[in-house]
Structure 1
Amino acid sequence: MSPDIAARFDELVAEGEAVPTEGWDFSWFAGRATEERPAWGYSSLLADRMRAAEAALDMQTGGGEVLAAVPVLPPVLAATESWPPNVGIARRKLAPFGATVVAMEDDAADLPFPDGHFDLVVSRHPVVTRWDEVRRVLRPGGTYLAQHVGAGSVRELTEFMMGPNPFPPPPPARPFTTRSGATPTGAVAVAESAGLVVVDVRQQALRMEFHDIAAVVHFLRKVIWTVPGFTVDAYRERLAELHDFIERHGPFVAHAQRFLIEARRP
């Protein structure tokens, strides 16, 4: 690496390390990284479902950013979130809408709501989905709508940093549970086994481009499952190689895997 490229590397890495990771706002990446949006338009679908709902739950809401952007929200609104910094952000952001934000672990045994409490349950990129619990808290005829992270998402970046096939097989999931990285067919099978009727499934691979190493560093600090345990010190050599590639050849390209699933409680 030339001295000029090395100096720029240190500057960009420091910048990527300094950006706060709280919340689920990706506006900092503007001009530095891009990600294609799914063709189905989750935000528009969410707005349509929320407009018709009486009581809704947003599971794993992050900082509440997606929910707060919905134009018309139902009179009864709740959200869950596991990461303590995000809980506070979500409570402040969703307070004007009268939402209840509950702090709970993503893979907790039960959702802290009564049976049949909601006619709509939603989630954008859930880490864990307890399909039996989704069915339990939905009213008969109620809807689950979510955009999930599919298997192999951003695999190109994971394998560049960690080598090919870096993850051991996951432990068996508890009954009626899927985790981020499930396949659409697997999610449908588990949802149906929990007693839901799946009415729509769509999937898409989305092109991502990282235009500088600061964007890579911030992404890996924010989307922590891409390279579990990531720190700049532990991966400095790989980051330097990737920085050199981007400086010489242009953006690093990866692909995010997403699938939309809509299901109803009979």
Structure 2
Amino acid sequence: MAIMRNFEELIAEGESVPVEGWDFSWFAGRATEQRPSWGYARLIGERMARAAAGLDVQTGGGEVLATIPQPPPLLAATESWEPNLAVARRNLAPLGASVHHVGNEDALPFDDGTFDLVVSRHPVVTRFDEVARVLAPGGSYLSQQVGMGSMHELTAAMIGEFADNEARSPERIAGEAEAAGLEVVDLRPEALRAEFFDVGAVVVFLRKVIWTVPEFSVARYRPQLLALHERIEAEGPFTATTRRFLIEARKP
């Protein structure tokens, strides 16, 4: 019964944690994830400092964009999830950025050739036709994306084994950029280690990173969560592989 009581406490905590925005500081001591070697936040900070007009697509709560040390004269961001909008506007106000409510697959509400730099961290989808349209000639798109098979082990622990979505392969995404008339100048994939130290952290992660297990809820996946809890208790941290890739593409 001690395991059940501990499990229930962890589950209740996991359900109570706010998941708005894209701040992962809550996971300190509860879960870890290796970071890609290229340092995305540093890269966009350097690029934004040299840009005249920058756009961050699917900014989340604006947490990463907010770290840039010097904003360009024109800075804008888009976000699709309404609870994130207020968070993003608060985080990006000091940079003078405008934040626009735009669906992930919608057209961007900007004129042709407005930006010389478009960035995006972990976009759900990328409308490369729209990225190409709003980029000025010679402008660049720089993005860190979630690769095919990321967190496969965690998803499989919830839904069973499955085939990874090949649409998320770096090569497929690069092909989409080129089909929109962009020139891919950098494409770097990496496989990274993630660890979860308790099932409460798993619940928060699945509530926050909603594409890992679509339509996740504790009620729906309680048996799988209990099995995962017992596995962590017996064997130690649950490990999974995250896959990331950096893509840079330029408009001729």
Common fold by TM > 0.5: yes
**2:52 aligned residue:** 54
How far off is 1:85 after superposition?
0.7
Are residues 1:209 and 2:189 paired?
Answer: no
Are residues 1:236 and 2:233 paired?
Answer: no
- What's the TM-score once normalised by structure 2's chain length? 0.98
**2:73 aligned residue:** 75
CA distance, structure 2, for counterparts of residue 221 and residue 63 of structure 1: 15
CA distance, structure 1, for counterparts of residue 234 and residue 169 of structure 2: 36
**1:122 aligned residue:** 119
**1:104 aligned residue:** 102
Which has the larger share of helix? Answer: 2
* 1:34 paired residue among 29, 32, 35: 32
* 1:253 paired residue among 239, 243, 250: 239
> Contact 2:142–2:247 (CA<8 Å) still a contact in 1?
yes
Amino acid at match of 2:72: P
Identity %: 62
Are residues 1:187 and 2:173 paired?
Answer: yes
Q: Deviations over 1:92-138 (max 9, x none)?
A: 21112211100011011x11000000000000000110111111100
- Residue 177 of structure 2 aligns to a residue whose secondary structure is helix
CA distance, structure 1, for counterparts of residue 179 and residue 59 of structure 2: 25
Amino acid at match of 1:256: T
CA distance, structure 1, for counterparts of residue 28 and residue 90 of structure 2: 25
Aligned length: 252
How far off is 1:23 after superposition?
0.4
What is the alpha-carbon root mean square deviation over aligned residues?
Answer: 1.2
Runs of 4+ in 1 over 4 A off after TM superposition: none
> Contact 1:125–1:146 (CA<8 Å) still a contact in 2?
yes
- Residue 220 of structure 2 aligns to a residue whose secondary structure is coil
How far off is 1:184 after superposition?
0.8
* 1:146 paired residue among 143, 146, 153: 143
Q: Which runs of 5+ in 2 are unaligned?
A: none
Q: Deviations over 1:214-260 (max 9, x none)?
A: 00000001001111111101110110000001011100000111000
Q: Deviations over 1:161-196 (max 9, x none)?
A: 1011178x79xxxxxxxxxx6111111111111100
CA distance, structure 1, for counterparts of residue 193 and residue 37 of structure 2: 12
List aligned pairs for 1:88-99, cutoff 5 A.
88-99=86-97
- Residue 128 of structure 1 aligns to a residue whose secondary structure is coil
**1:198 aligned residue:** 184
Amino acid at match of 2:84: N
> Contact 2:41–2:65 (CA<8 Å) still a contact in 1?
no
* 2:156 paired residue among 150, 159, 177: 159
- What's the TM-score once normalised by structure 1's chain length? 0.93
Q: Deviations over 1:26-48 (max 9, x none)?
A: 00000000000001111111111
* 1:226 paired residue among 207, 212, 218: 212
> Contact 2:122–2:146 (CA<8 Å) still a contact in 1?
yes
Q: Deviations over 1:44-84 (max 9, x none)?
A: 11111111001000000000100111111111000000000
CA distance, structure 2, for counterparts of residue 71 and residue 95 of structure 1: 14
Q: Which runs of 5+ in 1 are unaligned?
A: 171-180
Quick check: 25-34 or 42-51, which moved more?
A: 42-51
